Chains A and B, each alone.
Chain A
Amino acid sequence: MFLLDNNVVREDWTKAKEVATGILEKHGASVTIARRWAERSLAYTIKKVNRGTYMLAYFEADPGSITIIRRDLELNESIMRYLVLKCDAVPEGEQELHDAELSTDFTVPEPPEDHVVDSTGEEDNESNDLDIDVGFDSGLDASPARPKAAAPKAEEKAEDKKEEAPAAEVTESKEETKEAPAAEATESKEETTEAAASEEA
Chain B
Amino acid sequence: MKRPIKKSTKGCDDPRLDYKDLETLAKYLNPQGEIHARRKTGYCAKCQRQLKQAIKRARHMGLLAFVGQ
Residues of A at the B interface (CB closer than 8 Å) are 1, 3, 37, 42-44, 46, 52, 54, 80-81, 83, 85, 176, 181, 183, 186, 188-192, 194, 196, 198
Contacts and interface: CB of A to CB of B under 8 A. Distances in A.
Nearest to B22: A183
A141 to B, nearest CB: 21
Contacts of A42: 62-63
B57 interface: yes
Contacts of B18: 186, 188-190, 192
Interface of chain B, main secondary structure:
loop
21 contacts: A1-B20, A3-B62, A37-B20, A42-B62, A43-B62, A43-B64, A43-B65, A44-B65, A46-B62, A54-B61, A80-B62, A83-B57, A83-B60, A181-B22, A186-B21, A186-B22, A189-B16, A192-B18, A194-B53, A196-B53, A198-B56
B54 to A, nearest CB: 9
A81 B62 contact: yes
Interface string B26-59: 1000000000000000000000000001001101
Contacts of B16: 189, 191
B62 A198 contact: no
B28 to A, nearest CB: 15
